[in-house]
Structure 1
Amino acid sequence: MQRLRDMWTREGPGIPKDAPKRTGVALFAEILAREWWEMVKLNILFILASLFVVTLPAALAAMARVSVAFVEDRNTYLLREFTEAFLRYFWRATAWGLTLTGALAICTYAIVTYAAGARGNLLLSAPLTIGLAAAAFVAVFACHLIVLMVMRDLPALRLLRLAALASVIRPFPALAALAFASVLWLTHILFYPVSVFMPATFNFSLGMFAVAFGVHRAAVLVLDLPEATQPRRKPHAQDASYDN
């Protein structure tokens, strides 16, 4: 029982204090290599928490909260932090989830409608392009909004403004993160049934980690947080002291 409890509650591994600082893809790979087992467990928690479908937005918010902790290299107690975030953001995440789902549904409907009409009328390619751009912006906006929501408690209007601002000043990292998540699912589809266990093991958590990693810098910029909240490295697990 003790080993089973420790699997869900103990701290993740650290890295040596004198290790060179990495950025970009190298930092992404470093965090992934260090936290991969935590991400597998996070993936399981997300699946269990979203079984009732209506809990999906809250489960996404809880997964985003833990993913931000991975990006910022903070000590995480997975089960406790996921549960606390799930309960804390349940109603807000549900409201934002319904709103953003509706916006994406409208964009998708417009894209399908104008794409069908553009085959016989080239003039409809203009609204089709607008629909595609709107859908991309809503997706990028959703990424920034969920990360900003779990990083700081903000009034709804300010959260909207900051998410929109972050989406304008740094859209490409979010688009890259969404593309990475899409590749995960495309790989699952192309190599099915060999890849049947991908969603159960890491697709959800790795995709959310990619989103959190991609939009974190923009979130920090618009929140004007101090340098202490930037992604940082913690000492090795054998070291007695950790950053908090």
Structure 2
Amino acid sequence: MQWLRDMWTKEGPGIPKNAPKKSGLALFADTLAREWWEMVKLNILFILTALFVVTIPAAIVATARVSVTFVEDRNSYLLRDYVEAFIRYFWRATAWGLAFTLAVGVGVFSIATYAATARDNLVLAVPLTIALVATVFIAVVACHLVVLMVMRDLPPPTLLRLATIASVIRPLPALAALAFVAVLWLAHIVFYPVSVFMPATLNFSLGMFAVAFGVHRAAVMVLTLPMATQAHREPHAGDATHI
């Protein structure tokens, strides 16, 4: 059974030290090609830990924690890192998950309401646009917040402030990541039943990796701001940095 244990506990693959540095889509594709099997296993872990529904936020954050190690090309011990992150961030992830679910839910309800009545009253196109932009922005903030949460322990107000700043200064990569996630699930729907195994093998982990890859640069940028440094030095800032 040694091979089964090693499959979940051994160190993930790395890259040669002398390999030329890549960026953008080339780096995304290279990381995906190198870590695809780890992502399949990560996807299985996500599904198993998200089965109880209430554990979905913690499962998302744990998946983000491992995805950041992929993005940063750091040593990753999949099962250990995932379980540690799931337990460590459970309550924080649950609280933020409820808050963002409520916020996005209100936004979607507003969009649906204004869209249904805007056909007869063009004046409602203005609040419809505002609701649409606000809802998308909340989703972008959520992406940055999840990644920032697993990169450094910060007080909730500082975490939200930095996520908002990151969303303002670099929204396009996060939007591209969300679009990529949408395309993944659209492909699953369009090509069903051929694509029946996509959610079980890759959709969740690959989607989270795309988000982490897209927002990582903005997260690193805002973590160098004075407010982040000051907050990290406070007693309640917690454990070691993960940058």
**Structures share a fold, TM > 0.5?**
yes
Aligned counterpart, 1:89: 89
Q: Secondary structure at the match of 2:158?
A: helix
Give the aligned length.
Answer: 226
Mapped pair 1:133 → 2:133:
yes
TM-aligned CA deviation for residue 224 of structure 1: 1.1
Q: Secondary structure at the match of 2:75?
A: coil
Mapped pair 1:193 → 2:196:
no
TM-aligned CA deviation for residue 85 of structure 1: 0.2
Aligned counterpart, 1:77: 77
Using the alignment, how far apart are the partners of 2:186 and 2:60 within structure 1? 20
Aligned counterpart, 1:60: 60
Using the alignment, how far apart are the partners of 1:138 and 1:157 within structure 2? 15
Q: Deviations over 1:150-208 (max 9, x none)?
A: 11000010001000000000000000000001000000000000000000000000000
Q: Is the 8 A contact 2:114 2:127 kept in 1?
A: yes
Aligned counterpart, 1:18: 18
Using the alignment, how far apart are the partners of 2:15 and 2:59 within structure 1? 29
Aligned counterpart, 2:173: 173
Using the alignment, how far apart are the partners of 1:174 and 1:65 within structure 2? 17
Q: Is the 8 A contact 2:162 2:223 kept in 1?
A: yes
Aligned counterpart, 1:224: 224
Identity of aligned residues (%): 75
Counterpart of 2:48, as a letter, is L
Aligned counterpart, 1:230: none
Using the alignment, how far apart are the partners of 2:64 and 2:159 within structure 1? 16
Using the alignment, how far apart are the partners of 2:220 and 2:172 within structure 1? 16
Q: Which runs of 5+ in 1 are unaligned?
A: 226-243
Counterpart of 2:205, as a letter, is S
Using the alignment, how far apart are the partners of 2:46 and 2:166 within structure 1? 26
Q: Deviations over 1:48-105 (max 9, x none)?
A: 0000000000000000000000000000000000000000000000000000000000
Q: Is the 8 A contact 2:12 2:78 kept in 1?
A: no
- RMSD in angstroms over aligned alpha carbons? 1.0
TM-aligned CA deviation for residue 31 of structure 1: 0.5
Using the alignment, how far apart are the partners of 2:161 and 2:12 within structure 1? 35
Regions of 4+ moved over 3 Å? none
Q: Secondary structure at the match of 2:16?
A: coil
Using the alignment, how far apart are the partners of 1:72 and 1:15 within structure 2? 11
Aligned counterpart, 1:117: 117
Aligned counterpart, 2:207: 207
Using the alignment, how far apart are the partners of 1:101 and 1:12 within structure 2? 33
TM-score (norm: length of structure 2): 0.92
Q: Deviations over 1:108-136 (max 9, x none)?
A: 01000000110000000000000100011
What are the residue-to-residue correspondences of 1:140-159 with 2, within 5 Å? Answer: 140-159=140-159
Aligned counterpart, 2:44: 44
Counterpart of 1:27, as a letter, is L
Using the alignment, how far apart are the partners of 2:65 and 2:17 within structure 1? 25
Aligned counterpart, 1:163: 163
Counterpart of 2:94, as a letter, is T
Counterpart of 2:40, as a letter, is V
Mapped pair 1:35 → 2:35:
yes
Mapped pair 1:182 → 2:182:
yes
TM-score (norm: length of structure 1): 0.91
Greater fraction of residues in helix:
2
TM-aligned CA deviation for residue 19 of structure 1: 1.2
Q: Which runs of 5+ in 2 are unaligned?
A: 226-242
Using the alignment, how far apart are the partners of 1:109 and 1:86 within structure 2? 31
